Amino acid sequence: MLVLILAGAPCLPMWWLRRLFFHLLLFIKLKRFQRELSHRLGWPVELRITYGQYYPAVAYTVPSYPVTNDWCPQFTFGFSRKRRGVLLHYLTFPGELRYRQHGRFCVEWINQTARQLGMDYLVLGAYPEAEAFWLKMGFTRLTVQEWYQYWC
C-alpha cells in the first residue's frame, strides 16, 4: 500500500489532490501493464510517458525487437481529461506476433483502465485491413464528422 504524506505543506486545493491521485493511479497501472506485456511478448517493453497535446501520452515499444520489414511492437495512446476520452494512436505487432491474442489483451486493458479512470470513450483510426479486428472487439465505425465530434 502506498501512502502519500504531505507534511508541512499548505492546505492543497481539492482539484490538485484529484489530479495528483489520477496521475499516481495511472502511473501504477501503466507500470503493472508494462510488466504484463513484457511477460506476454517475451521481450523487454519500454514505457514512455510524455505531456503535450494529450495529457498524458503513453507509448509502449520494444526497441530491442529484431529489425524486420514489418512493424515493431508498439502500443501508443493518449488521455484527454478535458474531453474525458482516450485516443489510441498505434496498436501494431509484427506478423510473427499476430494472432496470439496480444492485440485483444491490449484493447481489453485500455478499455478497463479508461473506465476505471472515469473516461467515457475510446476513439481511434484504423487501417482498412484492421477494421475486422476492431469490429470484432466491439467498436463501431464512425464517419469523419462523428470522429471530429469526439476528439477535435
pLDDT given at position 47: 92
Q: What is the DSSP string of 4-53?
A: ---TTPPPPPHHHHHHHHHHHHHHHHHHHHHHHHHHHHTSPPEEEEE-SS
CA nearest 151: which of 86, 101, 105?
86
pLDDT given at position 63: 77
Distance CA 53, CA 42 (A): 32
Taking 50 as the pLDDT cut, the residues of the chain under it are: 1, 3
pLDDT given at position 105: 93
pLDDT given at position 67: 65
Residues 73, 41: contact at Cβ < 8 Å?
yes
Residues 22, 15: contact at Cβ < 8 Å?
no
What DSSP character marks residue 73? P
pLDDT given at position 106: 92
Residue range 96-109, pLDDT digits in tens: 777 888 889 999 99
Counting every residue written for the chain, the total comes to 152
pLDDT given at position 9: 53
pLDDT given at position 53: 63
